[in-house]
Structure 1
Amino acid sequence: MKGLALWLLVFTAGAAHAQVAAGQWHLSGDPQLYRVEVAGGAELRGAAITLQGTGSERGSGAASRVIDAATYRNSVLTLSARVTADEVSGGAGIWLRASADGRPPAFANSQRQPVRGTAADVERQISIVVPRDATRISFGPLLNGSGRTTVTGWVLDSRPCSANPAVTPERVLAAAVDAVKRSALNAGRVDWVTVEPKARAMLGDSTCPEAAYPAVRMVLAALGDRHSRLLEPAARREMVSTATATSEPAITVSDNVGYVLLPGFRGAEGGAATALARGVRERLGALAPEARCGWVVDLRRNSGGNVFPMLAALKPLLGDGELGVYEDRNGRRQPWHASGPALARNEDQSSRAVAVLLGPRTASSGEAIAIAFRGRADTRSFGLPTAGLSTGNGIVDLPDGSRIMLTEGVAIDRRGQRYGGVVTPDTTVDGAADADSALQAARRWLDAQCVEAP
């Protein structure tokens, strides 16, 4: 809802500022909730634009600058900047819009990667295709909720459309629609009579394949699964060639109870995936003699990514057997297992008690890990319900090099229970997003199990 509110705020404010002189910045939003400060002079690259929230957690604010669009028509326009956040609650970032009279604007923002909390000089980059008849370009910083953000290092860069005349936006959109109709879990819920013509109308008269991206995203949004997404070519290449954990895993033992903080894992590069799995697995084995009363597996910061190295990392606790399945809309099932070498007797901890910590940031394949523990003996979960993305995504490559991560299946645990939405913990613990209360409840349960064990 915040993203929608901000889009409406920026869209309507742009019309009001269409006549703003070049080089000027203005606040778009409620001046009682947000303030804008401008430093660094009129040159774009040197500008430092600060948005300060006055305490509202639900507000959305932005600053805007307007320039003439003539130079950028029928090109791919990219906005880059560095975002610094100070106690930002909802998310800070940047936005970019190209407006043409009488048609919806081309619009993008960086809220798929919001900068939250406190962080310095986080690079963000967004792109749009500028329509042939665009009259103005607007852009600026954005802030959801409370806190303060300063954005610097502004760069606007344009490039011509793809040189391959065979890869048209019409072809990209058609490939996406065909794949969605053929494989998407929720394809039957879409009003195609309305959605398909609307998507085609969004292409306009651009020859850029990138002009199809807003239409593809609209089609994916119509599925209502909240999990399908489009990766533009650069993001696809990064996903294939790189991989990293979203934070460092933490594995410790205290008072006979082991603790594993398992982060999400982004990307598919095999060496990094293998290193994560091997490192966690070896550490679990080394600490096994000390973790006499079992393990806490903390998934509250696990926002998902590549599920396979995460399953492999936890194989000593999960075991060698089938952990669950994804079922597509036709009832076909794909089982999942923890990959890697078979467990040696001295590293197999699949009979030890495990307490799993869940929270609203546990999402996607993080939820799959939680489901993999469902039905396991001597296992209980604690915390708050998860994000509600317990579905499986397949890969659809489009003609221009972009990729759809398409939701095609619903998760089913080893007991046969279906998910698809939130994973609710066995024991709800308020304040579970803060490490102490849920962790304490989990430790108490493990201690009781340990005392009762023969």
Structure 2
Amino acid sequence: MKPILRNLYLLAILMIFSPTTSVFGQQNTILDSVIRVLEAKSIYKNRVNWNRIKITTSETLDRTVLDPVEQALPAIRRLYTELGDKHGIFMTKTKSVRSSRNDEHSTSDSILYQYAFNENYAFRTAVIDHKYGYFSLPSSQLTLEESKDSLIAVTRVSQMAQQLQDSLCSLSNYDLKGLIVDLRLCMGGTLWIDLGALIPLLGDGNLFSITNTGSKDEQIRLVNGSIYINNTKQVSTSLHSCSFKGKKIVVITGPITGSAGEQTAVALRKIKDAKFIGEPTAGYLTMTDLHHLSDGVSFTYSAGYARDNNNQVYGDKFVPDIHILGGDNFPSLKDDEKIKAAIKWMEGQYLPHSVN
């Protein structure tokens, strides 16, 4: 075989079997971009064979459509699934895809979702028995457009956090024996809004760290009403005179407490002697990064784990100290089994580790 023909033959073989997202010479730049980021930065990057993944995801591209974003959707779903990243999500202006490893939800979870989407329950304060403050933290989320500009993002996050914090501080006007922070209806959203809301409880210092296998831990710190990742400010609120110092603190979690809600629970571990009551959380505790690709197209992926101030690393769910299965009653808090357990603990009564 002549050298030129032999070289062309070898090139054709390489094109057919090369582990890229190219099929018949047509690359999908969207999928290529997502793979490039995840191969470099995902906490799960060492779990998989990337040469094989590049082939299998390429085979999943939807070649029946011309739009490269639409083409990439099933392939990106396959990518998240093979990585085992159930927290990552790929978003367009009209659609989103994530891992196909969806958790099954019980009937009781479905009822919790109904309350989570009802602001009358998800975001409220109350005083129970004239002695115990109650603060329910809702799911609060920046829009993708707001998140693109860091200055706009910090301003908007701070405004939203301040509104929640003002409600929390309204409880300090009462002569309370303790405070219940309810995270059961906090399904996720923007972490900095949640942490900003709870600044009066958290106090200055390191809240928790973000750790991964490839770089130095990042520190999430609270300093004088502002929260930072290392030296980058994420949220800032007005310093309130409100204080819950000396009050007993109970944090309640449940099966739909997710993502930012779970990470907030980790931060609240900073509070000395706080008690955590409820059920294990949804299992979206990894720390995600957001990556913008083009107008209206972005994706998140698991980029780190949360490490609390006691050096415990959280890989999946947050597990409370005292387990109370079910018994949720948001319309009547006094009849809610988790609330009743919280009050018993604040009154000094013994509680077993698990209550069914």
TM-score (norm 1): 0.56
Deviations 1:60-106 (A, max 9, x none): xxxxxxxxxxxxxxxxxxxxxxxxxxxxxxxxxxxxxxxxxxxxxxx
Match of 1:408 in 2: 303
Q: Is the 8 A contact 2:201 2:271 kept in 1?
A: no
| Pair 1:365 & 2:260 matched | yes
Q: Is the 8 A contact 1:316 1:350 kept in 2?
A: no
Match of 1:198 in 2: 56
Query: How far, CA to CA, are the matches of 2:238 and 2:308 in structure 1?
Result: 22
Match of 2:198 in 1: 314
Query: How far, CA to CA, are the matches of 2:257 and 2:328 in structure 1?
Result: 10
| Pair 1:326 & 2:202 matched | no
Deviations 1:287-318 (A, max 9, x none): 21315212101111111010101110111111
Pairwise CA distance, 1:397 = 2.1
Residue aligned with 1:322, SS: strand
| Pair 1:447 & 2:344 matched | no
Query: How far, CA to CA, are the matches of 2:61 and 2:209 in structure 1?
Result: 38
Pairwise CA distance, 1:342 = 6.4
Q: Is the 8 A contact 2:188 2:261 kept in 1?
A: yes
Question: Would you tell me which structure has more strand in proportion to its own residues?
Answer: 1
Match of 1:218 in 2: 78
Q: What stretches of structure 2 of length at least 5 have no aligned partner?
A: 1-25, 97-115, 147-152, 222-226, 228-234, 331-335, 350-356
Residue aligned with 2:314, SS: coil
Number of corresponding residues: 273
Deviations 1:238-276 (A, max 9, x none): xxxxxxx95531012222211001111122445664343
Q: Following superposition of structure 1 onto structure 2, how do residues 139-154 of structure 1 map, counting pairs within 5 Å? A: none
Sequence identity (%): 29
Q: Following superposition of structure 1 onto structure 2, how do residues 269-284 of structure 1 map, counting pairs within 5 Å? A: 269=146, 270=153, 273-284=157-168
Pairwise CA distance, 1:369 = 0.8
Query: How far, CA to CA, are the matches of 1:320 and 1:250 in structure 2?
Result: 25
Query: How far, CA to CA, are the matches of 2:190 and 2:117 in structure 1?
Result: 11
Pairwise CA distance, 1:363 = 0.7
- Of residues 412, 417, 434, the one that matches 2:312 is 417
Query: How far, CA to CA, are the matches of 2:48 and 2:246 in structure 1?
Result: 45
Query: How far, CA to CA, are the matches of 1:375 and 1:274 in structure 2?
Result: 22
- Of residues 138, 145, 159, the one that matches 1:263 is 138
- Of residues 250, 264, 269, the one that matches 2:124 is 250
Pairwise CA distance, 1:412 = 0.8
Query: How far, CA to CA, are the matches of 2:40 and 2:260 in structure 1?
Result: 23
Residue aligned with 2:135, SS: strand
Pairwise CA distance, 1:320 = 2.4
Query: How far, CA to CA, are the matches of 1:217 and 1:397 in structure 2?
Result: 17
Match of 1:340 in 2: 236
Query: How far, CA to CA, are the matches of 1:208 and 1:283 in structure 2?
Result: 46
Query: How far, CA to CA, are the matches of 2:177 and 2:47 in structure 1?
Result: 48
Match of 2:67 in 1: 208
Query: How far, CA to CA, are the matches of 1:334 and 1:350 in structure 2?
Result: 28
| Pair 1:385 & 2:280 matched | yes
Residue aligned with 1:175, SS: helix
Match of 1:430 in 2: 325
Query: Which AA in structure 2 matches 1:208?
Result: D
Question: Would you tell me which structure has more helix in proportion to its own residues?
Answer: 2
Query: How far, CA to CA, are the matches of 1:225 and 1:286 in structure 2?
Result: 40
- Of residues 183, 189, 212, the one that matches 1:299 is 183
Pairwise CA distance, 1:327 = 0.9
Query: How far, CA to CA, are the matches of 2:158 and 2:275 in structure 1?
Result: 28
Higher relative CO (Cα under 8 Å, sequence separation at least 6) belongs to 2
Match of 1:114 in 2: none
Q: Is the 8 A contact 2:180 2:249 kept in 1?
A: yes
Match of 1:172 in 2: 30
Query: How far, CA to CA, are the matches of 2:66 and 2:294 in structure 1?
Result: 14
